[in-house]
Amino acid sequence: MSPEDEVRTVSLRFYAALSHMANGDAKPLAGVWSQGAMVTALHPIGGRQVGWDAVRSSFEQVARLASGGKVELQQQRIHIAGELACETGIEQGQITLAGQKIAIEHRVTNLYQREGGSWKMIHHHTDISPAMLAVLDRLPHS
């Protein structure tokens, strides 16, 4: 399998896991992500998470509020430079977040690194989603 095909395969696994998260189960994401201190995420709900524990926790927080979701990558472009791969595209789909249906259409950049012979995600960055932020702002804050 070519390196590009390997990255496409892990990308499909990431978006399947992201769809699980959008239905309340963030656990499958652990199989796709590198779990080191240097991984990062910039989600559509804002903020910056650094390190696997923070990234995992951010996905778990959204999963607790999520149902009926599906996210797919469109207009995928992959560029590989040695042990790093950069993927760009448009995330499209929908999610029900805290009971509110939201359409998803975000530009995205994903970075993957080869670890132990397989590709793992090390960075995920999407556009901010004003619709998601509006739903979260209406929730009671503890």
Is the distance from CB of 28 to CB of 16 less than 8 angstroms? yes
Contacts of residue 108, defined as CB under 8 A and 6 or more positions apart, other chains included, come to 73, 87, 88, 89, 90, 91, 124, 125, 126, 127
Task: Give 2-40 as a DSSP string.
Answer: -HHHHHHHHHHHHHHHHHHHTTT--GGGGGTB--STT-E
Are 94 and 23 a contacting pair, CB within 8 Å?
no
Q: CA 49 to CA 142: how far, in whole Å?
A: 20
Residue type present at position 16: A
pTM for the predicted model, two decimal places:
0.94
What does the pLDDT look like over 102-140, one tens digit per residue?
999 999 999 999 999 999 999 999 999 999 999 888 888
User: Which tokens in the block code for residue 128?
Assistant: 């901010």
Show pLDDT as tens, one digit a residue, over the chain (142 residues): 999 999 999 999 999 999 999 999 999 999 999 999 999 999 999 999 999 999 999 999 999 999 999 999 999 999 999 999 999 999 999 999 999 999 999 999 999 999 999 999 999 999 999 999 998 888 886 5
